[in-house]
Structure 1
Amino acid sequence: AIKGVGSDAPAPTAAGVAAVLKGPAGNGALGTLTGSVVDPASGAVLWKQGETTPLTPASTVKVLVAAAALLTLDHTDRLTTRVVRGDQPGTAVLVGGGDPTLSSLPADRRTVYPGAATLDDLAARVKARGPVDRLLFDVSRYQGDGLAPGWAPEDVPDGYVAPIVPLMADGGRQDPTMMDNPRSATPAAAAAAALAARLGVPSAGPGAAAPGAEVLAEVESAPVDQLVENMMQISDNVLAETLGREVALARGMPPTFAGAVQAVRAVLTENGFDLTGAEVVDASGLSVDDKVPARLLTDILVAAGEPGAADPRTAKLRPLMTALPVAGGSGTLAGRYQEAGAAGKGWVRAKTGTLTGVNSLAGVVVDTDGRLLVFAFMSLSPAENRVVRHALDELAAALRTCGCGG
C-alpha cells in the first residue's frame, strides 16, 4: 500500500506546488519538459507545463496498456499454454496461449517472472498421458508482424524485446534469470524445441491444432493483475505487447500491433479518457514513433488513485497503484533516489520511460502533509540519460517535500 495517504490532509495549492517545482523544473538538463501534477482527491490541476503536447513517452506508455488490461480483462484470468492431441498417432501440438512468462527453468529456480509456469511441469503432464513421438507447435493465436514500426533492428539481440508471438519461454531470453540479455529471434521455435527435448522427441516444427482437439496437458500463467504488476515493475516490453493483444482479442479485434493499439484506445475512450494527441504504434513504448501527452498519463493515474473510490473506474484500476515501482526500493526505480532526489526514496512510486534522448516519469507521491499527488513529467533532451533521470527524480522528490496546503 502507499504509505501515509490521507485525503483529510491539508489540500495542496497550485501556488505551493509551483513554488517547490520552480527550481528543479528549471534544470537545463531536462531540455524540453512537459508535465502535469494533479490532486486526485479533488481533481484539481496543481501544475502544468505543455501538458497537452504529445511527446515520446517511452515506457510510460505501459500505463495505457496496463489500464486497458485492468479495465477489460478479469483480474483473475490466466494465460494458458496447452498441448493437444495431433491428427496422427503419437503426434502432439504445443499451442501458444499468449503466456511469455512460461519458463525453461525448474520450478524452484527464480525467473524474472514471479509465479511462472514451467516447461518441466508441462512435459511431466504430457508424459503422464502416454508417449509422444512427434511435436508440432501452433502460434495462430496472434497475427501479423512480430516487430513493430519504430523498433530498432538491434532491439532483439540487445535484449529489449523478442518478436511477439503467443508461444515463448522466459520472454525469449537466453538467460531466464536476467532482465536484459539477448533474446531469441525465433522464440516460438525455441520454446517448442525445449519442450521436445524434455519429451525426448525430435525438435518441433510448425503446425496447427485441430479445432476441438483433445487437451493432453496445460499450464497457466500468474493472474492478469500480477502480470500487469510484473510488466510495470520491470518494464517488460514483451509482456506489454502480450497484454495489448489479449485486450484486442477480448474486444474482437485483430491480435496484431495495430489491433492492440486500436483496442487500447477504444477501451480508454469508452472509459472517459481523452486521447487527443495520443498516437502510438505499440503497447510497450519501445517505438520512437509513439506520442502521448502528459495529461493523459495523469488522467489515468488519477482515476486509479482517487482516494474516496467514488470514481467507478477506480476499483478496476487500483492495482495500477501497487504495480508502480517504489523509489529506491523496487523495479526500475530500485537503483534510483540514492543521491539525486533522495527525499523521495520510499515515497515516490512511478513508471519510468527511457529511450535515447527521451526520459519520462509518471506516478504518485505522498507530500509532507500526507496528501497523495499524481504527476507525469516528460523530457526530450540531448543530455546524458543518467543526468536527465536524476533531474526527473529531483522533480518528483520536490513534490514529496511539499507541505503545499493552503
Structure 2
Amino acid sequence: MAPTSGAAPVPPRPSGRRRLPLVLAAVLVLVLVTVGLVVVRPGPVGRWLGDGDAGPATVVPVEPAPVAVLAAADVGAPMPSAEGMRAVLDPLVGDAALGGRVNVAVADALTGQPLFERGGGEGTVPASVTKLLTAVTVLTARGPGYRIPTRAVSGAEPGEVVIVGGGDPTLAAGAKGFYPGAASLEDLANQVRTALGGNAPSRVLVDSSLYPGPVYGPGWDDDIPTGGYGAAVTALMLDGARKDPKAGQGWAERVPQPDLTAGRAFARLLGVPDSAVQKGTAPAAPTEATGAPAESTEPGAELGVVQSPPLIRLVDIMISESDNIVAEALARQVALARDEPGSYAGGATAMAEVVSELGLPAGGLTLADGSGLSRRNLISPALLTEALALAASPDRPELGGIFGGLPVGGWSGTLRDRYGAAPGTAAGAGVVRAKTGTLTRVHSIAGVVTTAEGRLLTFAVLTDQVPPDGMESARSALDRIAAALATCGCH
C-alpha cells in the first residue's frame, strides 16, 4: 500500500553512466486539414514503409502550413524542482480513483535526475508498459537492423521439404498479409521450386522447435489464449496467428496451432496436400568441406530463406499497436541472442540480464513474459523512467527507436481518445507520448512529456489495485498526472 502522505524529497539517483547532452530529435506530427487530400508516398519511401511499388507521385494541391501537435524539447529550458513537483503531483497521486496502490516516478530526460518518486523503486504489475523494456532489451541484444529468418531446407527423406520457423510473427502467406512489409511464404515457395529444379516435393515438415516450452504465458488470465489479444506463441506463424489477415488492429480471432496452420499454407503453395504436413525437425546442415554449395537433395541443404522487416520496424509495431504477439516474439529474440532457450522463461531471464548490463535499476524487477499479459510481471516506475532517459540520450543511440511508436495524447494509438474529454487532461494533448497498460485492476502509463517551459521529462505511473469497475476513472486520473507535468514550471 502506498503511503497517503506527500512524497519524501528525492535525492539524486547514483548512476554509473556519464550523462551526455540530449540529442533526441523533436518529433512533429502534422495535421492534414485539407478535406479529402490524398498523400501518395514516392516509391523508395513507400517500399521502406512496407508498401508495394508506388507509381509516379500524384500531383496534389499546395498544403497549408502544418500544425505542430507535439511540442519540441528545449535543452536549455529550466528543470523543475523536486519541491515544485511535489506541490503539483501529491494531490493528483492521492486520487482515490487510482486504487489502493499507486507508484510513481518522474525524472529529467537530459540528466536522468529523479524529480519525484512515490514508491518509485517498488515492483508493480505493469501490464503493457512491459513492452518498453522488451523494446530496450531487444534493440540492445539484436540491434535495430536485425531481421528474423524463415528457412526451408531439404528433409531427411527424398521429396521432403522442412520449413524452419525462426520466430518471425509477421510472416504472410502471400504478397500482402496483416503486417506491411512482411516476408512471404509465396516468395519462399518460389525459391524452393527453383532450388529443386522441377522436382516436386511430396511432404512438408514443420520445424518450430526453436521455441520450447508452453505456448501460453505463465500468469496469463484464463481468457487470454482465446480472448483475441493473446495466442499460442510458436516459432512459425502467419499474421501474428490471426485467423483472418484482414482483421483490424486489436482484437482478432487466433488459430489454435499457428505453426501447423503456416505449414499447411506453405504446403499448398508447393502443391503438397494438407494430409502430407506434420511437425518434425530439420536435419543438421551439411558440412561443406570443399567450400562447394550443398546439393539441394542433400538433407539439411538450404532451399530458400525470407527475412522479417528489421527489428526497429517490429518494435514500432509492438509499441504503437500494443501488439502482444510481436512482443513475445521480440522477447524470445533477446533470449536467443543471449544463448537462452526461446521460451517465456528464457526471454524473462535474458531481458533481466540486459537490464542489468545497461546499468538500469533492477530492484523489484520480476519478468514472466515480454508483452505484459502476465500478472507475475513486476516493474518499478524508476526502472521505466531511467530506461526512457537512457534511450533519449546519446549513450545508446540504437535505443532511440522506441520513441517512434509511442502514442501521442489526443492523436494516435491507445491515447487517441484521451487527453481532452476528461476534466484536467486537455493540456496533455499533443505533448504526452506514452505507452499504456491495462488488465483488470491494473492501469499504467509511462513515457515522455514536454513541460510548458520546454523541458523533456520521463514519467511512469503504475497502479495494480484499481476496483474492477473503475477503469475509466483510473485512466482519467492517470491522464491528469501527465497533463499536470505538461503545464508544469514546478520551480
For Structure 1 versus Structure 2, the TM-score category normalised by the shorter chain is over 0.9
Q: Which amino acid aligns with 1:182?
A: E
- Aligned residue for 1:376, secondary structure, equals strand
Say which is worse superposed, 275-284 or 359-368, in terms of deviation. 275-284
Displacement after TM superposition at 1:192 (Å):
0.9
How far apart in 1 are the matches of 2:264 and 2:353?
38
Give yes or no for the alignment of 1:188 onto 2:259.
Answer: yes
Q: Which has the higher contact order (CA 8 A, sep 6+)?
A: 1
Displacement after TM superposition at 1:62 (Å):
1.4
Q: Which runs of 4+ in 1 moved over 4 A?
A: none
**Deviation by residue 1:121-173 (Cα, 9 ceiling, x = unmatched):** 32333334433222111011121111121112321211122122110001111
How far apart in 2 are the matches of 1:365 and 1:356?
26
Q: Which amino acid aligns with 1:362?
A: A
Q: Which amino acid aligns with 1:320?
A: I
How far apart in 1 are the matches of 2:417 and 2:180?
20
How far apart in 2 are the matches of 1:193 and 1:386?
43
How far apart in 2 are the matches of 1:392 and 1:175?
35
Alignment correspondent of 2:430: 346
Q: How does 1:295-314 map to 2 (within 5 A)?
A: 295-306=382-393, 309=394, 312=395, 314=396
**Deviation by residue 1:78-113 (Cα, 9 ceiling, x = unmatched):** 001111122222221111011011123542x6x2x3
CA contact (8 A) 1:83 1:216 kept: yes
Displacement after TM superposition at 1:300 (Å):
0.7
**Deviation by residue 1:50-81 (Cα, 9 ceiling, x = unmatched):** 11222111111112121111111121110011
Q: Which amino acid aligns with 1:193?
A: R
Of the candidates 401, 426, 436, which is equivalent to residue 319 of structure 1? 401
Displacement after TM superposition at 1:231 (Å):
0.9
- Aligned residue for 1:361, secondary structure, equals strand
Give yes or no for the alignment of 1:169 onto 2:238.
Answer: yes
Q: Which amino acid aligns with 1:393?
A: D
Alignment correspondent of 2:131: 62
Q: How does 1:199-238 map to 2 (within 5 A)?
A: 199-203=270-274, 204-212=277-285, 213-238=300-325
Q: Which amino acid aligns with 2:130?
A: V
Q: Which amino acid aligns with 1:364?
A: V
Q: Which amino acid aligns with 2:270?
A: L
CA contact (8 A) 2:105 2:117 kept: yes
How far apart in 1 are the matches of 2:220 and 2:186?
33
Give yes or no for the alignment of 1:263 onto 2:350.
Answer: yes
- Aligned residue for 1:81, secondary structure, equals strand
CA contact (8 A) 1:156 1:182 kept: no
- Aligned residue for 1:318, secondary structure, equals helix
Alignment correspondent of 1:14: 82
Identical aligned residues as a percent = 43
How far apart in 2 are the matches of 1:326 and 1:117?
29
Give the direction of change, closer, same or farther, for the CA distance of 1:261–1:137 in structure 2 (3 Å limit).
same
Q: Which amino acid aligns with 2:364?
A: G
Q: How does 1:51-200 map to 2 (within 5 A)?
A: 51-104=120-173, 106-107=175-176, 111=178, 113-129=179-195, 130=198, 131-176=200-245, 177-178=247-248, 179-200=250-271
Give the direction of change, closer, same or farther, for the CA distance of 1:122–1:328 in structure 2 (3 Å limit).
farther
Say which is worse superposed, 124-133 or 227-236, in terms of deviation. 124-133
Give the direction of change, closer, same or farther, for the CA distance of 1:105–1:396 in structure 2 (3 Å limit).
farther
Of the candidates 355, 359, 372, which is equivalent to residue 456 of structure 2? 372
Give yes or no for the alignment of 1:389 onto 2:475.
Answer: yes
The root-mean-square deviation of aligned C-alpha atoms, in Å, is 1.7
Alignment correspondent of 2:364: 277
Unaligned runs of 5+ in 1: none
Q: Which amino acid aligns with 2:338?
A: R
Unaligned runs of 5+ in 2: 1-25, 28-70, 286-299
Which has the greater radius of gyration? 2
**Deviation by residue 1:317-354 (Cα, 9 ceiling, x = unmatched):** 21122232222233222232242322212211111111
How far apart in 1 are the matches of 2:359 and 2:140?
12
CA contact (8 A) 2:112 2:386 kept: no
**Deviation by residue 1:153-198 (Cα, 9 ceiling, x = unmatched):** 3212111221221100011111223231121221101111122222
Give yes or no for the alignment of 1:24 onto 2:71.
Answer: no
- Aligned residue for 2:223, secondary structure, equals helix
Q: Which amino acid aligns with 1:236?
A: D
Displacement after TM superposition at 1:305 (Å):
1.8
TM-score by length of 1: 0.93
Larger relative helix fraction: 1
Alignment length (residue pairs): 397
